[in-house]
Structure 1
């Protein structure tokens, strides 16, 4: 493939985090170059099918000039220009970390002063909101809004509750302007799980079920907010047109977000259930880029970090395990292991067919599913962060 610049602009308009999300969600293969007048050479981020495989920063020395350290350092390049060229990437894979985790960690490192800012820029460290429990929470945006699916608009003032946890409701909103806090109620008070902004959704695929779903979290306006009310019937019709196996996969993704959210709250409350999750289970030994539907038995998704084991999800019949080709939720196979019961049985899904089904989604429904995947990745990062803090406090 010849080099072809397909995206170009200024970092004042699109920051590095937004760029990585945009290129990743579109499955881009090529090189993102960050050009700064304060650096003799551009910083580079290398993508293969939307995944970050390497990065370089000539300002760093030795091993840190490439790989994950280089990727993090580029978040400090707040001024300059960028361009993304589609081209074959002939470079050794040196990064296996999930894209959203790189974004979250990079933004946090800048916020905490770990990553220096390049150039003549003043930077004031943000104070942590007490409601965030001393944790830096980046604001995550979604894709461009498909206004063809917006049937009405609603406004909420800063501090107003949009939906309450455990209340009934099937409305789906997309954020048009503003920031919304997604909050779980805990025995130690409210815990902010996510901060979402323009293009992100409130509500999920469970809204398409026949039963009136209960809201799994509280949504509160963190600023003045304008929400677009989505055409739920049209979305449901789009969803019903897809093959039942794809609908099962998508609904399993929705359930996994609820699972990882509950597990994250447990770890925050210092109730790590790793032993309970793995009792009478053995590692799932399937290797490679395969995807399976669980037909029988139970599975637990566990991530191992230096500070111990992080339980992420309990899965059962109808759920999926394995490699998803069109987004990375930061779980198995690359970032977590799967432990299964003795009666565990699966059937393999055709990844090429699944990707074709995904490509047939309407833009609005695709954005909604991508939003769920992004929230899983961000919440997983929070679970890891809480586990690290729990160990450090001992």
Structure 2
């Protein structure tokens, strides 16, 4: 069953904080487009298995689709078309997901990248209804965290593409200030009012990674790390600005109680963000 197009969730399964936090400019390595691999496939949410031959287009940019897969065998390449030619955003191997949280929340949506099989590939089509049901049981704060992380991933992808075509603005915000109160290595926040810019610590200077708004989260996420704040980026806030501290212990417990498939899916977002951030720094010449 070929999907109509695809934006991808690039990533592996759970890794330790020491691994996940190497996404800053200092963590960029020349092999960041080596295939990413995740944990073994959990078959509890698998509906069917599908096979694709080398060179087959699994997902086509610009079309609509809702399928969500995990790769059981083989490698796929994620390609984005730009005015200056195609760019490879990632190469995914066994255990990685193809699709985002929108696949099981919003149904068919326009895909923003093409997925091509590099060799013979076996995919496991996941049960979107089961994932949607598990999502519905989460706390409102946890739901907002997942949506905010998906938003962060999409924004860093956009910036990487802008850097590729030479249209990324390197200027830092002039109307915001660095707030020392949000540079606590243990607290986790949700924005209630205003905006916050995440300023990465590039090898050749500061880099504006993205702008977060109401209901977005920032700080030390208890169950994942991807090389942004608090260790590898600072936070600049608007005026006025308000953010509340989230209960990290409760959120960690909620994460631990997720099914194996959903937990790997959530944690894959950390790899998505980390690897795309490395690509972004590379395209800006910070490697």
Give the structure-2-normalised TM-score: 0.88
Provide closer, same or farther for how the CA distance between residues 156 and 211 of structure 1 changes in structure 2, counting only shifts above 3 A: closer
Cα displacement (A) at 1:162: 1.2
CA offsets 1:176-216 (integer angstroms, 9 cap, x no match): 11101112211111100111100000001112333632223
Structure-2 change in CA distance of 1:274 and 1:101 (3 Å): closer
Residues 100/337 of structure 1: CA separation in 2 closer, same or farther (3 Å cut): closer
Map of 1:284 onto structure 2: 179
- 1:207–1:279: structure 2 CA closer, same or farther, 3 Å change rule? farther
Structure 1 residue 142 and structure 2 residue 142: aligned?
Answer: no
* TM-score where L is the length of structure 1: 0.65
Larger radius of gyration: 1
Which of the pair has the greater relative contact order for Cα pairs under 8 Å at 6+ separation? 2
Which residue is 1:348 aligned to?
245
Residue by residue over 1:117-169, the C-alpha shift from the partner in whole angstroms, topping out at 9 and shown as x without a partner, is xxxxxxxxxxxxxxxxxxx6111011221011111111222222111223222
Report the alpha carbon displacement of residue 303 of structure 1 after superposing the two structures with TM: 1.0
Structure 1 residues 256-275: aligned runs within 5 Å: 256-275=152-171
2:104 paired residue among 189, 195, 208: 208
Unaligned runs of 5+ residues in structure 1 are 1-20, 28-49, 53-96, 112-135
Tell me if structure 1 keeps the 8 A contact 2:23–2:277.
Answer: no
* Aligned residue-pair number: 274
**What's the counterpart of residue 9 of structure 2?**
none
Preserved CA contact (<8 Å) 1:264 1:312: no
Q: CA deviation at 1:302?
A: 1.7
Aligned to 2:21: 98
Cα deviation for residue 51 of structure 1 reads 2.1
Task: Verify the 8 A CA contact 1:263 1:311 in the aligned structure 2.
Answer: no
CA RMSD of aligned residues (A): 2.3
Judge conservation of contact 1:297–1:343 (CA < 8 Å) in 2.
yes
Q: Is the 8 A contact 1:101 1:378 kept in 2?
A: no
